Structure 1
Amino acid sequence: MKAPEAIVLRRCLLLRCARCGIEGPADIAVVDGLMTAPSAVKGRDVVEVDCKEELVVAPCMYVANMVLAPLGTDYSSVMHGELDDALLEAARLSGERLIQTAERLATELPSLGMCGAAIATVDPLPAAKTLLEHGLRVQTNIAYIPNWSHVERLASELDKQCNQLGNYGDLMSIGIEVFASRLVDDKELQELVRLARSKSIPLFIHASTSKRDVYESKKKWGLFPVERLEKLGVLGKDTVIVGGGWVSSWELGYIASRGSAIVHNPVHDMLHGAGGHFPLREALDAGIRVGLGLGLVDSFLDLRLAATVELLLQRYVYWDSRVGAADVFSAASEGSANILSFTATGKIEHGSPGDLVVYRVRGLSQSLLTRNPALALLAGGKPVYTIIAGRIVHAEEDSF
């Protein structure tokens, strides 16, 4: 990996955070991987980008949940009743097929304005190394598959990951991801919680993902999915609920009181007919950290598309406009960065890690920039540059 460059972006329009207004034109610099004033580049070799008072600099987005499907597979016709089997099959992806998929992601994610992702598989090391070598931020979640994985083996894999990925510093973080939690018995879940907390790493748990998930949890355990996690002491500040499309209002209270987070995968849920409707406004009002993900990935890679779908889904289901473009943009940027324990903040501010996307905004979206910049970037933004930790990881052809 190349050493961080000194980069100066001149005459740019700035969107410092999802809920901020457009500022500028202004200059911004990234030196030694951190955002700073342009005066800090004095005496250094500098890469300069002239935004010409047209390009918009905005925070990066981060994929808070992703299960890699092998290239050439098509899960688009898999509906919710068979979705668990498809997810568990994809989570076992390994070897050369996993590396090929990671190579594709390493190019496409930054070209779409994404600076990092959480990937879940039983052996995430090969994919993680591929993405890290391309300069992306990565959270490697070792998948725990019911009736297949073992807690002792998982503990050994965590130590192996820490040893082999330690050289990448703050570009990477580690977690555990539990699939189909209703199929994991109480003792196993509590062992996984103890393991995660002993390592001070987050525990991602798929829960309330579909009607089937809720029904079978209630039938087997006598409790709703999140209600069961609360009873077992699983919920905590480092617990992340993946799914949540069928979470009840009173279960949100458990999540909020324990400081847990939720990652919703709106395109995944709609494509696979998971049903339900994630109460985003209610979650945000309760102070719950919310991030956005892509779920089972075989074709849809654009988190801006996922954020747009989330916005439309919230409007369609709840019949009001209380969820705005800034809310979903914030979930995809600041929210996801926070959940993934990246040093990135999802904001443009002095001293923050240099994760930025430079957008060209075309067509009707230009008229939205002043009134609703988050919507303008979701609807009509095209990434020209993607900068991660002070490195230009993606540049549009002929942009220099």
Structure 2
Amino acid sequence: MTNVTQVPGSTPEPSTDQLRHSPLHERHVALGAKFAAFGGWSMPLEYAGGGVLAEHTAVRTGVGVFDVSHLGKARITGPGAADFVNTCLSNDLGRIGPGRAQYTLCCDEGTGGVVDDIVAYLYGPDQVFLVPNAANTAEVVRRLRAAAPDGITVTDEHEAYAVLAVQGPRSAETLDALGLPTGHDYMSFVTADLTDIPLVVCRTGYTGEHGYELVVPAETAARVWDALLAAGEPYGIRACGLGARDTLRTEMGYPLHGQDLSPEITPVQARLGWAVGWQKPAFWGRAALVAEREAGPRRTLWGLEAAGRGIPRPGMTVLLGDRTVGTITSGTFSPTRKLGIALALLDTAARLGQGDEVEVDIRGRRSPMRVVRPPFVQPSVR
């Protein structure tokens, strides 16, 4: 029996027998993975022989490979597909050209809250490939299909492809050893072949390190996984799970949907205004977001770092004297910094800023924290 546990801070998941499995599930079992229910999928949390700390360190200093096949995949095709997507999602696809990727948001039309955050891959004016989050793929597809005009097709390809993230300072060398392209710019992608396997090599990732994400047909995922582990062996490659993915992204201040972003948390509150095409005449949630930006948000996402030994966790209360001034949305121990770090929504009325001191209620004890602007660790992603 595989070991399935709950990811800290995540919402309740279906029972084990209802969870989807990655096409690499048996590879993870063979590596002694501890599994977590996440977004309706059973995915590796960490592996035997090292755990989260060793996996985190491998990505910061060498190379790690993640199975992130639970991420959604959707393709929008037809005459003017890119223009259609641009009237729906927040960022401006007109800022990029074919072969480029863009971080964007699917916002609620009425409230401006974030239904999902997405990476969009622009193939050309008639084709866009989207990578939403696992639990939100069906809803993103539903909304796009409901809005699509005649001639535009929205296809859910969630289980047709696997996604492998190769991340870390030695990631390029690992792909070079397989003859895969590595010279393209950050937030761009190219098509390639690994022997007879067609794949897409994306210069994207969720760790803050130089890295790549490979989109491969699901039926070939095991062959690509095995090839990556063999090619990366001289560089100390490690298979990495969701535990390390979470500590790495938190050190960078990257938001996680369902915690730092949600239908109740807008891009203005989450400091994601840079992912909004404010000059576009139309996108979902535009009126609500413009009004909020002009009025100023009632709360704003900040970083917190521990001044003591406390480890903040999602849902904990942030205090200023006797006042509650915010809530932790993501919190963990930073393996790189060796201290507790967090993202927190803080009340704008409290007028908190860089270097201000607050406290976090950690199981009934007040732990001192400093307000900071993420990232907590300097990125090497570019």
TM-score (norm 1): 0.25
Choose between structure 1 and 2: higher strand proportion: 2
Choose between structure 1 and 2: higher helix proportion: 1
Greater RCO structure (CA 8 Å; 6+ sep): 1
TM-score (norm 2): 0.26
